[in-house]
Amino acid sequence: MAQSSDEYLDLLEPRRNQYDLSFALKHTASLLPEYQYVTHMTKAEIRTMVLKSRRLKHTVEEIVASNGRQEKDIYAEAEAILDEMAHEYSLNNIRFLAYIFAKTFKKLYGHIYVSKTGLEKLRKSYRDSPVVLLPTHRSYVDFLLISYMMFEYNLPLPYIAAGADFNNMKFVNTLLRKAGAFYIRRSFGADKLYWAIFTEYVQILVINGEAPLEFFPEGTRSRTGKFLPPKRGLLQVVVEPFMKGRVPDISLIPISISYDRILEETLHSREMLGIPKPKESTSGLFKASSIFQENFGNITVHIGDPVSLKQMSLISGVDRSVHSLAPRFIFSMNAQEQQFVQELCLSIQLMQQRHMVVSPWVLTAALLVMSPGYQTSLQGMYSDMEWLKGAATGLGTKVRWPVGKTVKSVLEDVLAVHHAMAVVDRDSIKLNVPQNVATAEEVMEVATVYIMLGAYRNQLLPSLAQPALVSLAFCGLNAATKGELFAQYQFLVTLFNRELTFHPKTTVDDFQSTLRKLQNSSFISVTGLQYSITSSGERLTSFLCNLLHPFLLGYWVVCRYLLSCPASLASVTEQSLAKTIQKEVAELIATGDLKSYDILSLNLLGNAISSLLQLGGIKRSKSGLTLIESEITKTAEKISEYIELPASLLTKPFAKKLAGPAAKL
């Protein structure tokens, strides 16, 4: 995508022209936009308000009634929880961080582009209602970047909901806390006291509207380049005060952050392979300082149009008056409201997806994955990239292609950034891995780079998944009726429900509009009732099918594996099952029966298992998993309609020795 200067500002440009110190000293409270009904509170006042809240009192009463604990003790615990949780602004601390990060970002990144109109709309929305920032989460850099950006543009620094695991990093945790981070435990499902304090604390921050709340709807960093299914918990806590009239409206701001190269790319791939992630620690952070030698390209931050919670609730027809009959300090969201929040999460995610920007490297990665043996000739790559740039852009992918640059020089640039992953060897381009792997162990050793490559390829999914599903719906045939296509499409939507983002209410519309888009670009033509792929559409549809090929193949392999297992898998969890299958896949790659390293990803295998749970192929119980053979067979057969399966796998039955994974786990 051509970057015209009036659309995007470069966050780093002023920093390259001014002293970082004077920058760190700017940002004064009086210049910040302010919510019209703002309530200013110190940390101590918020603390008192939480501890004296009617909600907490109610919860404490409940706990006392249920287990007879002393009220005094519960309140003491409450104070401890709150101290662990609460943020604490310190302007000096923020200035210090601003100084450090001005230096850091300049070192790591070429440009950080920020959408100008988005920024202006954000600034305006502060007056009318409390603001909640909802960025995508691909890297730890995300929240640092956003706070830094707010500092640069004289906007209030957000309260950041951070995972309590950060709290283990001495010194750093305090630095972040003083910059507005507050810490939430990863899981506290049944802990009523924690839940009440957390709810009250977050809602006070939102209702007061002094600064925006920021959290990641995906809940954690996505390590795969895809979007994680959104978690509605925190958004539900944010939405509740609106449902009960405590705020007139809330502005939700979807933010899409696109990185050319993700700082933790290697770590992420290793995690997807099951190599445990190092615990967050301050010493670990210093060890990671070698990254300063590296080039991480550019970042694009797109600030989406503010989404008015009031408007969304009006459109959905949620009935807020149901809360008239109970006091507002008792948390309650009925089924209709929960459904609303769920759909709101998905809508926000779809908005984020629309504004993700991909680097040309993503095109390279996608093409490399599809090339036999993950390598291809340079000339082929040039022409394929040129073609893909046009085709993908036509379908809505935002490719940041440097203005006026030839594909040759662009490829040189991206290879400079991603030299650890791919290399040019004479006139061909290939992965930076040893070519000869014979055992499953060796496969796992080299797999990191393949998974990393897949993660960049996956960045195309948000914009291309819909046309890809329609392409697959042709099932390799040249023509089909609309009804046939939709039936296939619908199955794929169900199958990939965790892999891709779908809004449950727009399945038909999505299908229709994708079909229309393909038709308008003459990739598909209609004669009578028959929809057929045109000759110009063949290259595209086959590319799109190949995009999802590894997923379908992976799901099929999972089905085949399960069919070789006994029906009852006692004390097997979904996670352990995924790991067992991963080993089998590694074997198959080592023997050359399977070529696709993507299937080694625990994320893909886990999603396949979840999908089978949803389709009824697997049933979960306390004792373990039960397999329903007929359903799994059905799914496997269905998948085989879309892709050609490796002949060797079809003929070679899965060894019976794998039949008892339970014993091994």
Least gap, CB of 447 to other proteins (angstroms): 53
For other proteins, the binding residue among 244, 457, 498, 560 (CB under 8 A) is: 244
- Least CB distance from residue 322 to other proteins, whole Å? 9
- Rank residues 264 and 337 by Cβ distance to other proteins and give the closer one: 337
Q: How many CB atoms lie within 10 A of CB 331?
A: 17
Distance between CA 327 and CA 315 in Å, rounded?
A: 26
**Least gap, CB of 325 to other proteins (angstroms):** 8
3-state secondary structure of 424: strand
Q: Which amino acid is at 519?
A: Q
Closest to 595 measured CA to CA, from 553, 637, 650, 654: 553
114 and 301 in contact (C-beta within 8 Å)? yes
Residue closer to other proteins by CB (options 203, 256) is 203
- List the Cα angle 401/407/410 in 5-degree steps: 60
Task: Give the total of residues touching other proteins (CB under 8 A).
Answer: 16
Task: Identify which of residues 196 and 421 has a Cβ nearer to other proteins in the complex.
Answer: 196
The closest of 303, 307, 86 to 204, measured between CA atoms, is 86
> Using CB under 8 A, which of the segments 313-321, 336-344, 580-588, 645-653 binds other proteins?
313-321
Among positions 44, 61, 80, 245, the unique one binding other proteins when judged by CB under 8 A: 245
CB of 321 to other proteins, least distance (A): 5
Stretch touching other proteins by CB under 8 A, among 324-332, 448-456, 561-569, 593-601 = 324-332
Residue 428, strand partner residues? 377, 425
- Candidates 322-330, 442-450, 555-563, 606-614 — which segment interacts with other proteins by CB under 8 A? 322-330
Q: H or E element: which one contains 338?
A: helix 335-354
482 binds other proteins (CB under 8 A): no
The C-alpha R_g of the chain, in whole angstroms, comes to 26
Residue 37 near other proteins by CB under 8 A: yes
For other proteins, the closer of residues 247 and 604 by Cβ is 247
Q: Which two tokens stand for residue 226?
A: 């895809």
Q: Which of 328, 430, 482, 539 binds other proteins (CB under 8 A)?
A: 328
Rounded to a whole number of angstroms, the minimum distance from the CB of residue 110 to other proteins is 41
Position 14 contacts other proteins (CB under 8 A): no
Candidate ranges 130-138, 243-251, 265-273, 436-444; the one touching other proteins (CB under 8 A): 243-251
Contact stretch for other proteins (CB under 8 A) within 66-74, 253-261, 320-328, 618-626: 320-328
Assess 310 for contact with other proteins (CB under 8 A). yes
What is the rounded distance in angstroms from the CA atom of residue 346 to the CA atom of residue 125? 22
Site for other proteins in 248-287 (CB under 8 A): 248-249
Write down the least CB distance from residue 326 to other proteins, Å.
Answer: 10
Are the C-beta atoms of residues 415 and 422 closer than 8 Å to each other?
yes
Residue pair 154/267 in contact by the 8 Å Cβ criterion: no
Query: Please, which residue, 107 or 246, has the CB nearer to other proteins?
Result: 246
Confirm or reject binding of residue 103 to other proteins (CB under 8 A). Answer: no
- Reported in sequence order, the residue ranges of 215-294 that DSSP labels E, i.e. its strands, are 251-259
Q: Which of 323, 498, 549, 638 binds other proteins (CB under 8 A)?
A: 323
Query: Quick one: which of 22, 321, 621, 651 contacts other proteins (CB under 8 A)?
Result: 321
Contacts of other proteins in 614-643 (CB under 8 A): none
The span from the CA of 182 to the CA of 169, in Å, is 14
- Edge-to-edge strands, sheet with 479-481: 479-481, 530-533, 524-527
**505 belongs to the binding site for other proteins (CB under 8 A):** no
In 339-378, DSSP assigns E strands to: 357-358, 375-377
Local structure of 607: helix, strand or coil: helix
Q: Rounded to whole angstroms, how far apart are CA atoms 205 and 246?
A: 12
Position 55 contacts other proteins (CB under 8 A): no
Helix (H, G, I), strand (E, B) or coil at 408: helix
Stretch of 92-100, 160-168, 245-253, 604-612 contacting other proteins, by CB under 8 A: 245-253
CB 119 within 8 A of CB 49: no
Q: Measuring CA to CA, how many Å separate 422 from each of 364, 380, 416, 505, 573?
A: 10, 16, 9, 41, 36
Among 40, 320, 620, 664, binds other proteins (CB under 8 A): 320
Query: How many residues comprise the chain?
Result: 665
Residues lying near other proteins in the complex (CB under 8 A): 37, 128, 244-249, 310, 319-321, 323-324, 327-328
